[in-house]
Structure 1
Amino acid sequence: MEWKPAKSSGIAVYKQIANDIEHRIISGEFPSGSWLPSERLLAARLNVNRSTVISAYDELHAAGLVKRVKGTGTLVSTELWNDADKRLPDWESYVKGGFFQLNNPINRQIYQLVHSGDDIVNFAVGELSPDLLPVSFMQHIQHTMEISQYLGYEHIQGNLKLRDAICAHLKAYRSIDSASSSLLITSGAQQALHLIIQSLLNPGDAVIIEDPSYAFSLPIFHSAGLRTFPLPTFEDGIDPDEILALHKKHRIKMIFLNPNFQNPTGTLISMEKRRKVLDISTKYGIPIVEDDPYSLTEYEGRSVQTLKSMDKDGTVIYISSLSKIIASGLRIGWILGPRSIVNRMADAKQQIDYGHPNYPQWIAAQLLSSEQFDAHIRKLRHGLRNKRDRIIRSLDKYFKGSADYFVPEGGIHLWCKLAIEGTEHQLFKEAVKQGVVFAPGTTLGSSTCHIRLTFSRADDNEIEEGIRRLAEAASRL
């Protein structure tokens, strides 16, 4: 082997070696099934460290060109060729790569189960049941629209009529003053979180999330290389003093909160704690991301004061959507914040999807502006409260005091601690066999022996049966 790597080429030496061997494999000098030179021998020939050759062989192995045989050597793959001119990509190495980390395996399993068509009672996914969807309301809206008007690209920040309708909605229902120029329409609240993380933060930045929380389940925080610091959630929310302690140690860049009927606990941050969190935000210059899908679901119709409505200094980035109050399938969410960051995220969204689809935006604008919207919200609150009461009665009936839960005054989740044998993951496996799914607590935080029961998706007549099946699963552990 006369070739030697050039250390001044600007390409890492191990990559030069890997590239040269790959060329020799393709040309047939090292045919399929043959052995490459030993690491020690090749290092001596090329006058490099053995570790450099090991790195080169690891590169070839990752590309699917060779196999490492422990104690023997490195073998050119026998599965490399279909015929003399074809080579298959090593799809497994691609699957293991990429920017995005995989979702939690249980979350992937839940998705498959609830879309399988099997007889599954769904306490796992945060959607509205058919009886809570404003189907006739939406059909009426669609019948009044002329489709030909809405088939082009939309404004980069979203349809102006929708943004104006959201501004009016925020003022009327959430006491938030806003301007259409400070709004960005997103594909639900989850895309809003992704845009904030990818546009405004850098790898290594320290952020605070609640524990437990929906944010805990999102791989995007770790995919982006962020350092996440979870704060325990109590019945009146997180402890603001803990934010200060973490900031002094780690220089917190952003705080992610779901303060209104939080997912998964259903808790509401107290007014005193809200004021303290806002004071910390303004004193130390730490932005707050308020994720607020549930404030309109307060069962008695009482007004819930959002952090954004209390924000006099512009430190709160406000996220919400129509997924939990109208329909998740519309995929309408939004970000409200300072214009400079909204413009930055709008630019990122344009790079991803060239703006949000306009047809659902026109429907959403009509829905929010309709006189029927208020009646729908009242019906939704009544329906969710009824489902909450049904699931609590069923837990009391079938678990007979062995289920400890927090009773929410709004939202769609019940956070429950079960006195069972085994772990919540073992319960999940047995529950699937019985035909019911839920979210184990450790998929949403560090709490063990907890489960999240989302009661909004199941029909009223399914709820008791679902809890009966869950109790049957618990009895089999």
Structure 2
Amino acid sequence: MWKPDRQSKQPLYEQIADHLERRISYGEFPPGSLLPSERKLAEQLGVNRSTVILAFAELRSMGIVESRTGSGTRVSMTKWGATPKHTPNWSRYAEGGSFLPNVPFMRKIREALAQNPGLVDFASGELSADLAPIEEITALMSRHRYTSYLGYDNPQGYSPLRQALVAYLQQYRGIQATESSILITSGSQQSLYLVTQCLLSPGDAVAIEDPSYCYSLPMFQSAGLRLFRLPVDRHGARPEDIRSLYKKHRIKMVFMNPNFQNPTGTVLDMERRRQLLDVASELGLPIVEDDPFSLTAYDGAPPSPLKAMDAVGSVLYIGSLSKIAASGLRIGWMVAPHSIVERLADARQQMDFGLSVIPQQVAAQFLKSPDFQPHLDRLRMQLQFKRDLVIEALRKELPGLVRFTIPQGGLHLWCKLEPEVHDGKLLEGAIRRGVVFVPGSVYGSDSGFVRFTFARAPADRIGEGIAKFAEALRELTGESSVRNSTE
């Protein structure tokens, strides 16, 4: 994000005015469009509000913008030779369309991180640079010659990567698959998007866990789906709830994250897994299994996926490298009946003509390399270390004010706050102090829950981040430290 140069001899307000004029002239702010408020722009640029006021006054003097009390500052219609009937109403277009924007809390978190990269980040669900196999991948890229052809590839994905995944799925996840049953995607989220857009119709009822990562994805609402909750307890979702939802709402699909569930970190009980598969086969219900975290199991013994136990073909399996290697590779996969793979590959080809072949080649080499298993071992150890740092800091800073179950894998710690607090005010207070997290309501839970993701924050700043969060919580509650409670 552009910031004024404080070392320049040009006054800050003139720099801001010039910058805004350029953005207006380039069409980023068309005639008639509303500019950011003085207060918001001042926060974004790190200047006093009075400096922004002077910048707006400079633009008004040139006839570039117009300000009205109570209506904000807009780009002039007349300065640019435009009239309202000839100018597209870009604001209306931006607010239209069937694809909904991110939920407000997620947009606020993203904006805060963009404006202040120095925040202690307990919100981003990705690995920090020191957890990613950067050296291993760099070495692979230097040793191997990558593609001699840079055209469009097979719409199902790069064939050698699908072959590598057949071996990977069998060795690490106990899943029997064929190359033709695998679709390469740009990550789990694209897989879910393809499922919601291509296999379901507006008005269809689906079951998702509660709380669930799916609640944070507006793509479900954008597809016009009706969402019904499967409450998650310490043993995961209850299979009998699926039968009840089917009888009452005729649900057409079930979305599950059974291993180190996001956000709660729970693992679906083995007996419940068997019951779940029995119910699904009895009702003819497909289960979409999202399995991004299994290989992070800290004891090195990942829970089996539902797909490995699926004897009748009820489970559509989704995985990715984002949580176990590098999100920037944008490599995910789906294992499904060939007819479904063909349908989704055709749809994805209409979107982007297929993924870039180069990261697919890198991913194929990495999965087959002798570096993959040592990377997983190191990742598990480091994630457990970071998890323990978060727990230690919570026990020190918030005894008696927070409850949690200690996860045995994954990237998240799901916490219940003992005092009742307003999610928005707590997040705002935390951001002011220099830390960001995700409120539990983003995942469909009631207020008073938070998700701390510990994979992104540097280990040496985790204690600092929890201390800042504790300050924000105490400011809202007036509570003093008592005694920590864990389940």
Q: Compute the TM-score of the two structures, normalised by the length of structure 2.
A: 0.80
Give the Cα–Cα distance (whole angstroms) in 1 for the partners of residues 411 and 310 of structure 2. 26
C-alpha distance 356-239 of structure 1, shift in aligned 2 (>3 A): same
CA contact (8 A) 1:150 1:359 kept: no
Deviation readout 1:368-402 (Å, 9 max, x if unpaired): 00011000000001011111111000000000131
Q: How does 1:371-410 map to 2 (within 5 A)?
A: 371-410=370-409
Structure 1 match to 2:188: 189
C-alpha distance 84-443 of structure 1, shift in aligned 2 (>3 A): closer
What amino acid is the match of 2:362?
I
Structure 2 match to 1:52: none
C-alpha distance 83-452 of structure 1, shift in aligned 2 (>3 A): closer
Structure 2 match to 1:440: 439
CA contact (8 A) 1:130 1:459 kept: no
Structure 2 match to 1:411: 410
Q: Report the aligned-residue RMSD.
A: 1.6
**SS of residue in 2 equivalent to 1:149:** coil
Structure 2 match to 1:251: 250
C-alpha distance 85-134 of structure 1, shift in aligned 2 (>3 A): closer
C-alpha distance 84-183 of structure 1, shift in aligned 2 (>3 A): closer
1:426 shift after superposition: 1.5
Give the Cα–Cα distance (whole angstroms) in 2 for the partners of residues 237 and 83 of structure 1. 59
Give the Cα–Cα distance (whole angstroms) in 2 for the partners of residues 175 and 303 of structure 1. 11
CA contact (8 A) 1:192 1:334 kept: yes
* Stretches of structure 1 lacking an aligned partner (at least 5 in a row): 1-77
Aligned-pair identity in percent equals 50
**SS of residue in 1 equivalent to 2:87:** coil
Structure 2 match to 1:292: 291
What amino acid is the match of 2:344?
M
Deviation readout 1:55-112 (Å, 9 max, x if unpaired): xxxxxxxxxxxxxxxxxxxxxxx96994579710011211121120111111012112
* Stretches of structure 2 lacking an aligned partner (at least 5 in a row): 1-75, 477-487
CA contact (8 A) 2:155 2:349 kept: yes
CA contact (8 A) 1:184 1:335 kept: yes
CA contact (8 A) 1:261 1:267 kept: yes
Q: How does 1:88-237 map to 2 (within 5 A)?
A: 88-237=87-236
Structure 1 match to 2:468: 469
What amino acid is the match of 2:469?
L
1:421 shift after superposition: 5.1
Give the Cα–Cα distance (whole angstroms) in 2 for the partners of residues 226 and 86 of structure 1. 37
Structure 2 match to 1:74: none
Give the Cα–Cα distance (whole angstroms) in 2 for the partners of residues 365 and 261 of structure 1. 26
Give the Cα–Cα distance (whole angstroms) in 1 for the partners of residues 185 and 250 of structure 2. 29
Q: How does 1:330-349 map to 2 (within 5 A)?
A: 330-349=329-348
Deviation readout 1:205-230 (Å, 9 max, x if unpaired): 10000111100111111111111101
Structure 2 match to 1:314: 313
Give the Cα–Cα distance (whole angstroms) in 1 for the partners of residues 95 and 423 of structure 2. 28
Structure 2 match to 1:63: none
**SS of residue in 2 equivalent to 1:293:** coil
CA contact (8 A) 2:400 2:418 kept: no
1:113 shift after superposition: 2.0
**SS of residue in 1 equivalent to 2:437:** strand
Q: How does 1:242-281 map to 2 (within 5 A)?
A: 242-281=241-280
Structure 2 match to 1:45: none
**SS of residue in 1 equivalent to 2:233:** coil
Deviation readout 1:326-384 (Å, 9 max, x if unpaired): 00000000110000001000000000000011110000000000011000000001011
Give the Cα–Cα distance (whole angstroms) in 2 for the partners of residues 160 and 83 of structure 1. 53
CA contact (8 A) 2:146 2:361 kept: no
Give the Cα–Cα distance (whole angstroms) in 2 for the partners of residues 189 and 243 of structure 1. 23
The structure with the larger Rg is: 1
What amino acid is the match of 1:396?
R
Is the deviation greater in 238-247 or in 254-263?
Answer: 238-247
CA contact (8 A) 2:210 2:445 kept: yes
Structure 2 match to 1:25: none
Give the Cα–Cα distance (whole angstroms) in 2 for the partners of residues 321 and 207 of structure 1. 23
Structure 2 match to 1:46: none
Structure 2 match to 1:40: none
CA contact (8 A) 2:289 2:306 kept: yes
C-alpha distance 280-421 of structure 1, shift in aligned 2 (>3 A): closer
Give the Cα–Cα distance (whole angstroms) in 2 for the partners of residues 475 and 303 of structure 1. 38
C-alpha distance 147-397 of structure 1, shift in aligned 2 (>3 A): same
Give the Cα–Cα distance (whole angstroms) in 2 for the partners of residues 241 and 148 of structure 1. 50
Give the Cα–Cα distance (whole angstroms) in 1 for the partners of residues 300 and 363 of structure 2. 22
Give the Cα–Cα distance (whole angstroms) in 2 for the partners of residues 206 and 327 of structure 1. 34
Give the Cα–Cα distance (whole angstroms) in 2 for the partners of residues 208 and 83 of structure 1. 50
Deviation readout 1:261-300 (Å, 9 max, x if unpaired): 0000000000011111100111010000000000101101
C-alpha distance 422-447 of structure 1, shift in aligned 2 (>3 A): closer
Is the deviation greater in 91-100 or in 448-457?
Answer: 91-100
Structure 1 match to 2:21: none
CA contact (8 A) 2:421 2:447 kept: no
**SS of residue in 2 equivalent to 1:252:** coil
What amino acid is the match of 1:301?
G
CA contact (8 A) 1:150 1:358 kept: no
Give the Cα–Cα distance (whole angstroms) in 1 for the partners of residues 393 and 423 of structure 2. 19
Give the Cα–Cα distance (whole angstroms) in 2 for the partners of residues 295 and 472 of structure 1. 34
What amino acid is the match of 1:173?
Y
Give the Cα–Cα distance (whole angstroms) in 2 for the partners of residues 415 and 236 of structure 1. 15
What amino acid is the match of 1:279?
D
**SS of residue in 2 equivalent to 1:233:** strand
1:148 shift after superposition: 4.9
1:419 shift after superposition: 2.2
1:139 shift after superposition: 0.4
